[in-house]
Chain A
Amino acid sequence: MSNTNTLQNKIQKEITELTRSINTIIDNFKQLKNPLQESKEKVPVATNQLDKISEQTEAATNHMLDLIEKMSIREDEVISGLRELRKLFPENNEKMTRLLDIIIDKVNLNANDAFTLMNALQFQDITSQQMNHAAALLEEIEVKLIKIQEVFGTATESDLAGAVSHQKKGRVYDPHADLYEKKTEQKDVDSLFNKVKTDS
């Protein structure tokens, strides 16, 4: 009899512990609800901000490219003007010819620098693709958060459908876009293409 009592006591104690644990887990889950909701609400804000940065840097970069194009046209005009001017001076006017050559060289240097600037502006496309990648990951996280909320009963199927439809359609990017850490050198790509052309 006393053995049965002891076993009963043990089981009762275990059940009490189990109930307490379950209550703690439920409390913890309840506490998760608000942060989950807050996190879910922040995701679209973050993706919008990333998209806005992309749009603004794109507009600024294109404006700079427009200016570089105008500069380049003006530089060509200046150079051809200076060459015409040089023809007006007699061949033996070495001082003037040398001076005009120096000016033409300087204008050419400016034109080269403009091209270097133009090359550098490719950063916008690369960073924009990286931001698109980050935004796509955030959108995936938003959908997953809503799926967890569905389990808690704080989100419905239509919430999930809404989030999926909000995911920006046509978000296309190169996930490996990188300005500096190129795994492949251009000469390696060329040699691959040349090898295939030679083999075929």
Chain B
Amino acid sequence: MSQTILVVDDSPTVVKFVSLSLKNQGFKILTASDGMEAIEKISNLSEADKVDLVITDLNMPNLDGYSLIEILRQNIKHKDIPIIILSSEDGDDDQERGLQVGANSYLVKPFKSSLLLQEVTKYLE
């Protein structure tokens, strides 16, 4: 069964780009345009379906990436999902905050699809 990746970004271009990069590798892709929608998608999945990895932007309307990660890390069911941050914010503060809230990796935009795939396969073998 293919593994499921949730891509969270308010830019439709980035969502499409990431989805296309990963769909080719056989992953099932779910998408959300902000943290709130991501929480809804994850919460509404049945027991049989689960999200194996989350890729999220930081700056998003309604619920940003930091808050999304914090919420997931506090949830017993979803606290262990690997989370990769994708952001154009390349300052040390952003990366440290990303780490503090519990992200596993941080990719700086723009990025190569090969690098994204390499990062994803670290967590999904």
Q: Which residues of A contact B (CB under 8 A)?
A: 58, 61-62, 65-66, 68-69, 72, 115, 118-119, 121-126, 128-129, 170, 172-174, 176-179, 182-184, 186, 189-190, 192-193, 196
Determine the main DSSP class of A at the interface with B.
helix
Q: Closest Cβ of chain B: how far from A200's Cβ, in Å?
A: 10
When the two chains form their complex, are residues A193 and B60 in contact, meaning their CB atoms are under 8 A apart? no
Does A118 contact B90, Cβ atoms closer than 8 Å? no
Give A121 to B16 CA distance when docked, in angstroms.
Answer: 11
User: By the criterion CB–CB under 8 Å, are B99 and A193 in contact?
Assistant: yes
Q: How many A-B residue pairs have CB under 8 A?
A: 103
Q: Which residues of B contact A184 (CB under 8 A)?
A: 90-92, 95, 108
Binary CB contact string for chain B from 83 to 116 against chain A (1 if under 8 A, 0 otherwise)? 0000111111001100100011111111111110
13 A-B contacts (beta carbon < 8 Å): A58-B11, A72-B20, A72-B24, A124-B13, A125-B109, A172-B61, A173-B59, A174-B59, A174-B89, A176-B88, A178-B88, A183-B90, A189-B108
A31 to chain B, nearest CB (A): 42
Q: How large is the interface on B (under 10, 10 to 19, 20 to 34, 35 or more residues)?
A: 35 or more
Residues on B with C-beta less than 8 A from A174 are 58-59, 87-89, 109
* Nearest B residue (CB) for A186: B108
CB-nearest residue of chain A relative to B60? A172
- Given A58-B12, A193-B99, A68 and B108 contact (CB-CB distance below 8 Å): no
Chain A contacts of B110 at CB under 8 A?
A: 119, 122-123, 125-126, 179
Choice from A128, A182, A192 contacting B96 with Cβ under 8 Å: A192
Q: Which residues of B contact A (CB under 8 A)?
A: 10-14, 16-17, 20-21, 24, 58-62, 64, 87-92, 95-96, 99, 103-115
> In the docked arrangement, what's the CA distance between A151 and B2, Å?
64
Interfacial chain B residues near A189, Cβ < 8 Å: 90, 95, 106-108
Q: Are B21 and A182 in contact (CB under 8 A)?
A: no
Chain B contacts of A69 at CB under 8 A?
A: 20
Chain B residue numbers with a CB within 8 Å of A65 are 13, 16-17, 20
Q: Which of A118, A178, A179 contacts B21 (CB 8 A)?
A: A118
B24 contact set on A, CB distance < 8 A: 72
Report if A192-B12 is in contact (Cβ < 8 Å); known contacts: A119-B113, A182-B90.
Answer: no
Closest to A189 in B: B106
Q: How far, in whole Å, are A196 and B97 apart by their CA atoms in the complex?
A: 12
Report the minimal beta-carbon distance from A122 to chain B, rounded to whole angstroms.
4
